[in-house]
Amino acid sequence: IFWLFTKSWSSDIRLDGKTAIVTGANTGIGKETAKDLAMRGARVILACRDLLKAEQAAGDISRDVENANVVVRKLDLADTRSICDFAELIYNTEKSLHLLINNAGVAMCPYSTTADGFETQFGVNHLGHFFLTFLLMDLLKHSAPSRVINVSSLAHHMGKIHFEDLNSEKSYHPVKAYVQSKLANILFTRELAPRAEEMGVSVYAVDPGLVKTDIIRHLNKSLQFFVKTFGFLIKTAEEGAYTTLYCTLTPDLPTGAYYSNCAMAPYSRAANDDNTASRLWAVGCHLLGIHWK
């Protein structure tokens, strides 16, 4: 029941002169994260699939934050072509990138596939961010010290990587696919951390807690009822952003670790498995056709 109690957290660290990308920043935790970074003086890029909603979010942030430096860029994580176009635009328009916050996600949706034929939850939540991080690594390295934050979930404890059926072609269960993708976020964090550390890039995985956001739209009616009825126990989107911000701003945090409620938290046993982590890395490179040492 520990997740019911939200640690209140604050920091007066400024981010003037820093550039941040937040994926899925048009709503929920992503929007609150972007707003907080803008208040600290960062230049914030809202990387979103729906440009109309993203422009609205940018307008909201600019209304709430004096002199906010927010820009909207199109990014569809369900399409590697779009991820390439986004990365190219970033290299052409930004001199530096200090913070990459891989926040966007889909949860427990009916079966569908991405433009490249991956099961949507695995494709968006894991492979899309894996590919985006790969493409932006040179800019992160060039801007070091910099950070990558991967938003995972406590639900990763229920996850298992189904190497024999990663795309759920044999059988699909929305929850099974979701928890697999969230476990993949942590395995990716663990594999990336030692590689990125020598370049001055730190990597963190984050559990935002149980948060009332749009992500519940695919839950079944009884779960939606629970979320609405016991809403007072559940974090607001602003509280859900605390741990992301904690990992973004706190100096000298150990890289490669998993954080929940603004503190380091234990991985699941599956997340601690080095073989699974390196195998998933290799499979991701193979599926995306990239060579990432």
Q: Does residue 2 lie within any of the structural domains?
A: no
Q: Report which of 141, 155, 215, 145 is spatially closest to residue 185, judged by C-alpha positions.
A: 155
Report whether 151 contacts 101 (CB < 8 A). Answer: yes
Domain membership flag for residue 84: yes
Of all residues in the chain, the percent with pLDDT exceeding 90 is 84
CB 262 within 8 A of CB 8: no
Query: Is the residue at 293 inside a domain?
Result: no
The CATH number given to whatever domain includes residue 204 is 3.40.50.720
Residue 6 lies in a domain: no
> Range of 272's domain?
19-288
Whether the pLDDT of residue 236 is over 60: the answer is yes
- H helix or E strand, kind and range, residue 186: helix 174-197
Give the span between the Cα atoms of 258 and 190, in whole angstroms: 9
CA distance 149 to 235: 20
Helix, strand, or coil (residue 24):
coil
What's the CA angle centered on 48, arms 43 and 49, to 5 degrees?
Answer: 160
- Per-residue pLDDT, 235: 75
| Radius of gyration from C-alpha coordinates of the chain | 18
Task: Report the domain count for the chain.
Answer: 1
Q: Inform me whether the pLDDT recorded for 224 exceeds 80.
A: no
Q: What is the tens place of the pLDDT at every residue in 35-93?
A: 999 999 999 999 999 999 999 999 999 999 999 999 999 999 999 999 999 999 999 99
Q: Decide if 92 is inside a domain.
A: yes
160: in domain = yes
Domain assignment present for 108: yes
Active site residue 178: yes
Encode 9-44: b = buried (16+ Cβ within 10 Å), e = exposed. Answer: beeeeebeebbbbbbbbbbbbbbbbbbbbbbbbbbb
- Residue of 172, 178, 242, 246 marked catalytic: 178
Average pLDDT over every residue of 216-239 = 64
Q: What is the pLDDT of residues 158-205, one digit of tens each?
A: 999 999 999 999 999 999 999 999 999 999 999 999 999 999 999 999
Q: What is the pLDDT of residues 239-263, one digit of tens each?
A: 889 999 999 999 999 999 999 999 9
**pLDDT at residue 223 tops 70:** no
H/E element, 147: strand 146-151
Residue ranges of E strands in 49-118: 69-74, 99-102
Is 14 within a domain? no
